Amino acid sequence: MQLAAIIVSLVLTAVGVALISRAVAQIYRFVKIGQPVPAGSRTDNPKQRSITLAREFLGHTRMNRWGIVGFAHWFVAIGFLTLPPTLAQAYGQLFQADWTLPWIGDFLPFELYIEFIGVMTILGILVLITIRLLSLPSRAGRKSRFAGSKAWQAYFVEYVILTIGAAILTLRGLEGAIHHVEHYEAAYFLSYPLVVAFRGLSTETLQNLIYLTAMIKIGVSLIWMIVVSLNTNMGVAWHRFLGFPNIWFKRNADGATALGALQPMTSAGVPIDFEDPGEDDQFGVSQVEHFAWKGILDFSTCTECGRCQSQCPAWNTGKPLSPKLLIMSLRDHAHAKAPYLLAGGGKDAEGEEKATAEQLAGVPAAALAEAERPLIGTAEENGVIDPDVLWSCTTCGACVEQCPVDIEHIDHIVDMRRYQVMIESSFPSEAGTMLKNLEKKGNPWGLPKKQRLAWVKEVDFEVPVVGEDIEDLTEVEYLYWVGCAGSLEDRAKKTTKAFAELLNIAGVKFAIMGGEENCTGDSARRLGNEFLFQQLGAENVAMLNMAFGEDDEDESTKLPKSKKKIVATCPHCFNTIANEYPQLGGEYEVIHHTQLLQHLVDEGKLVPVTPVEGLITYHDPCYLGRHNKVYTPPREIIAKVPGLRNEEMHRHKERGFCCGAGGARMWMEERIGKRINNERVDEALSLNPDIVSTACPFCLVMLSDSVNGRKNEGKAKESLTVVDVSQLLLESVRTPAVADDADADSAPEPEPVK
C-alpha cells in the first residue's frame, strides 16, 4: 500500500507541477496579447490597491451581498488558501504514517485552526453544491443564474474540494488514533468522533489507511491541477488565482466599481487625439487582441457564477444578452485564438495577414480557423458576439455592480460598439436619426435651440439666462443644467418647471444657459460614437468655462471648482458633467436635483406641509443609483412629504431594475422579448401603488409610456400617476389655493368697527 501510494502520488506530482507551470506561463503570455493601458491607470496608489484587495477578499465584501452563499464561499476560499500545510503533511505521511510537520505540526493553535477550517470548508462546499443542485431544476432555463455555465467544470471543482476536505478530516481522525489519543483533547475537538472510530484498529491497518487517504488527498489535488492546466479557459477554477490580480488592477484603487465615467478611447495605451488622430490609431475593438490586457484578464477570471446574468435587464426580458455568456464567449474565443496570436498572427487595417507562412506553420488548424471568425457577427457569419447581443445592453451597470471579481463588462461592450459605429457604421438604424440630430441641432429630437427656452414662458417667476439676463455665473449660486429632455420633452418639462419653482420658493439664486446648452453627449458616447461625444463635450466645456468667468489669459479670474456649482435634473447629464467632462478639461461641482432638494428641506427652506395621499413606490434611475451611489436623497424627500406611504419594489437600490433607456436604448426600438419598461412597471403594479416616482427624465418617459399602455390593457388603475420626486415635493410645499378659499369662507365674520 505504501509503495503504491508513493509511486502514484509522485508521478501525479511530477506531471501536475510540469503542467501547471506551463499553464501559468501560457496565461501570462496570453494576457500580454492585450493592448497596453494608459501609464499608471492600473498601478497608481499600490498601497490603496493592496488594501482594497485585502478588504474584498478577507471581508468578501462583494460575495456577502448574497447572504449564505457569501458566508459559505468565504470558508471555501480561506480553506483553499490556508490548508496547503495539510498537503505537505500528507506527503510526509506517505513515507512515515505518524509523521507531523516540524515546529507547527503539534502546535495547538495550528491544530485547532486545521480542525475548524477543514470542517467549515466541507460544510461550505456542501452548501454551494446544494444551491447549485436546487437552482438548476427549480429555476429552469433563463431563470437560473447558472444557465449557460459549464456545469461539469463547476461540479468537478466542487466535488474535488469536498473530497479533499473529507480526506483532511479523515486524516485527522487517523492521526489521533495512531498517536494513541485515549481521551478527548482540544486538538481534535471536531475530529474526535473519528479518532474514537479508528482507535480499535491495529497499527498496521492505521498505517495503511493513512497511506491510502494521503494518496487520495494528494492524488485528487494533483488531478485537479492537471485538469485545470489542460483547460486554461476554466474560469471556475482559475478565478481563485486570477481573481487577486484582477481585483488589484481594477479601475479604481479605492475599490469603487468601474461605473460612472466611461474611459477615454485609447490606441496602444494612449488616448486618441480626435483633433489629430494618428494614421495607425485603432478605433474601438474589432479583434479580441484589441482589448486591453486588463480585458483579457477579465475574461479569464470569470467564474461563471451568473450573478451578472441574474440581474441583467436584457436577459430577464428574453433578449440574447447575458453579461456572463458574453464574457465567456470572449474568453473561449481568445484562448482558442491564442496560439495564432502568440505565433505573430494578426491582420492589419486592410485585412492582410501580418505573419509569414513560416511563422504560422506550427499553429493548430483550430486556432487558424478561430482567427478567421469575426468578433461581431451573426450565427450565419460565425461571429463570436451576435449584433443583437451587443445592442441589447442598456449600460445599467447591474453586471459590474454584482460581479465578485470586478469584471468591467460595460467598458468592453462600449469598446466593441465604438468600432461598429465609427469604422463599420453598423448600428440600429433608429439610432442614426439621433446621431444626425445631435450633429446638426445639438439635441436628440432635432428641435431648434430656441425651443430650449419655451418652458421659461410657462412659469410666473424670473429664470435668468446667462448672456441675456446676467453676464456670467458669478452672480448666482447654481447653474441649472436643464438638459435636452428637461427642455424639450413635455413630461420632463414638468419636472423642470417644478424644480425651478422649488428653487424660487427656497430663495436659491440660479440661472440657465438656455439655447447655449448642447446635449452632453451621453447617448452618443454609450452608443459608441466617441468622436461626436468629444465634439459636443468640448463645446459644452468651453461654454461652461466662459460662463463661470474663466479667462484663459488671466489665471486670477478662474473660479475654484467649489464655486462652479451645477445642478442637473437628468442623471445622465449629471454623470457626464461630473465624471466625464474632467477628461475634457471641465472641472465642476455637480449635484443632482434630489440632493439639493433634500438639503433645502433639511435647512427648512422648503417645508412640505400639504398631504399627498397614496401608496408610492420609487424607481432608482441606474445613472443616479448604481453609477453614482445616490440612493438616499429621493427617499428622504418622499419620507418628508406627509400622507405618502412608501413601499419598495423587490428590485431596488443596488439591485434596482433598469427602465430600458440607458446605453442609447432610449433611441432604439425594442423588438426582442418583453419590453424592459413593461417588466419594471409590472413589478411596480404588483404593489398596487397610487404613485410611481423616479428622478430621471428618461425613466419618467419610459415608465409613463408603460403605465399608459397597461391602463389601455386594463392592467393598471386609471388614477395611477408617474411623477418626478420634485413634483411631489412641490405639491406638498405649495399651499393649495382651494384650501385658502375654503378657509376664508369658513372664517367668522369680523365685528363691525364701532
Query: pTM for this one?
Result: 0.92
pLDDT score of 29: 94
DSSP state of 382: T
If you average pLDDT over residues 135-143, what whole number do you get? 66
Q: Where are the alpha helices (DSSP H) in 96-142?
A: 108-138
Answer whether 30's CB lies under 8 Å from 239's CB.
Answer: no
What pLDDT band is residue 522 in, cutting at 50, 70 and 90?
A: very high
Where a domain ends, among 234, 267, 294? Answer: 234
Cα gap 215→615, rounded to integer Å: 65
Does 62 reside within a domain? yes
- Going from the C-alpha of 694 to that of each of 317, 325, 495, 619, 708, the distances in angstroms are 21, 31, 10, 5, 16
Does 52 reside within a domain? yes
Q: At 611, phi and psi to the nearest 5? A: -65, 140
Give the model confidence (pLDDT) of 452-466 as tens digits: 999 999 999 999 999
If you average pLDDT over residues 735-744, what whole number do you get? 49
If you average pLDDT over residues 206-218, what whole number do you get? 96
Cα gap 585→588, rounded to integer Å: 10
Cα gap 438→433, rounded to integer Å: 9
Q: Is the pLDDT of residue 413 over 70?
A: yes
pLDDT score of 425: 94
pLDDT score of 681: 97
> What b/e readout covers 64-101, taking b as 16+ CB neighbours within 10 angstroms?
eebeebbebbbbbbbbeeebeebbebbbbbbeebebbe
Place of cell 485538469: 227
Q: Is the pLDDT of residue 483 over 90?
A: yes
Give yes or no: residues 396 and 456 share one domain.
no
Cα gap 310→328, rounded to integer Å: 15
* Interior angle at CA 314, CA 311 and CA 315, nearest 5: 65
Answer whether 113's CB lies under 8 Å from 107's CB.
Answer: no
339-346: long-range contacts (C-beta < 8 A, 24 or more apart)? Answer: 339/363, 339/364, 339/367, 340/367, 340/368, 340/370, 340/371, 341/33, 341/289, 341/371, 342/29, 342/30, 342/33, 345/371, 346/287, 346/289
* Sequence-separated (6 or more) residues with CB below 8 Å from residue 224: 156, 157, 160, 237
Give yes or no: residues 64 and 208 share one domain.
yes
Answer whether 498's CB lies under 8 Å from 730's CB.
Answer: yes
Cα gap 343→240, rounded to integer Å: 29
Answer whether 236's CB lies under 8 Å from 29's CB.
Answer: no
Place of cell 392592467: 715
Cα gap 673→315, rounded to integer Å: 9
pLDDT score of 138: 53
How many residues in the chain?
A: 754
Give the model confidence (pLDDT) of 112-127 as tens digits: 999 999 999 999 999 9
Does 741 reside within a domain? no
If you average pLDDT over residues 245-260, what whole number do you get? 95
Q: Where are the alpha helices (DSSP H) in 507-642?
A: 522-527, 530-547, 571-575, 593-602, 632-640
Does 33 reside within a domain? yes
pLDDT score of 587: 93
Q: What single string gives the DSSP state of each residue in 275-343?
A: TS--TT---S-SSGGGSBHHHHHHHHH-----HHHHH-HHHHTT-S--HHHHHHHHHHHHHHHHHHHHT
Interhelix angle for 203-230 vs 151-178, to 10°? 160
Give the model confidence (pLDDT) of 47-60 as tens digits: 999 999 999 999 99
Amino acid symbol at 110: F
Give yes or no: residues 338 and 487 share one domain.
no
Where a domain ends, among 579, 600, 621? Answer: 600
3-class DSSP assignment, residue 561: helix
Q: What is the largest CA-CA distance in the chain?
A: 124
pLDDT score of 749: 43
Give yes or no: residues 402 and 447 share one domain.
no
Cα gap 733→498, rounded to integer Å: 11
Give yes or no: residues 596 and 645 share one domain.
no
Cα gap 74→64, rounded to integer Å: 9
What pLDDT band is residue 661 in, cutting at 50, 70 and 90?
A: very high
Cα gap 525→320, rounded to integer Å: 23
* Interior angle at CA 643, CA 642 and CA 648, nearest 5: 100
pLDDT averaged over every residue in the chain: 92
Q: At 179, phi and psi to the nearest 5? A: -90, 10
Give yes or no: residues 612 and 691 share one domain.
yes
Answer whether 5's CB lies under 8 Å from 94's CB.
Answer: yes
If you average pLDDT over residues 233-247, what whole number do you get? 94
What pLDDT band is residue 743 in, cutting at 50, 70 and 90?
A: very low
- Provide the CATH number for the domain around residue 636: 3.40.50
pLDDT score of 754: 33
65-70: long-range contacts (C-beta < 8 A, 24 or more apart)? Answer: 65/402, 65/654, 66/307, 68/127, 68/131, 69/127, 69/128, 69/131
Cα gap 346→353, rounded to integer Å: 6
Give the model confidence (pLDDT) of 556-596 as tens digits: 556 777 788 999 999 999 999 999 999 999 999 999 999 99
Which residue, among 161, 216, 172, has the nearest Cα to 198 in the 3D structure? 172
pLDDT score of 741: 45
> What b/e readout covers 11-40, taking b as 16+ CB neighbours within 10 angstroms?
ebbeebeebbeebeebbeebbebbbbbeee
Cα dihedral across residues 262, 726, 492, 686: positive or negative: positive
Give the model confidence (pLDDT) of 492-521 as tens digits: 999 999 999 999 999 999 999 999 999 999
Where a domain ends, among 545, 573, 600? Answer: 600
| Count of domains for the chain | 4
Does 354 reside within a domain? no
Place of cell 441675456: 468
* Sequence-separated (6 or more) residues with CB below 8 Å from residue 650: 683
Q: Is the pLDDT of residue 739 over 50?
A: no
Does 255 reside within a domain? no
Cβ-based burial of 465 (10 A; exposed 0-12, middle 13-18, buried ≥19): middle
Give yes or no: residues 536 and 657 share one domain.
no
Cell of 220: 485528487
Give yes or no: residues 409 and 467 share one domain.
no
Give the model confidence (pLDDT) of 153-186 as tens digits: 999 999 999 999 999 999 999 999 999 998 898 9
- Provide the CATH number for the domain around residue 313: 1.10.1060
pLDDT score of 137: 56
pLDDT score of 560: 78
What pLDDT band is residue 354 in, cutting at 50, 70 and 90?
A: confident
Does 680 reside within a domain? yes
What pLDDT band is residue 280 in, cutting at 50, 70 and 90?
A: confident
**Residue 658 lies in domain:** 602-736
pLDDT score of 753: 38
Cα gap 295→417, rounded to integer Å: 15
Give yes or no: residues 393 and 467 share one domain.
no
Give yes or no: residues 171 and 109 share one domain.
yes
Does 490 reside within a domain? yes
Give yes or no: residues 591 and 610 share one domain.
no
Q: In the chain, what percentage of residues exceed pLDDT 70?
A: 95
| Cross-strand pairs, 692 | 617, 722
Give yes or no: residues 616 and 524 share one domain.
no
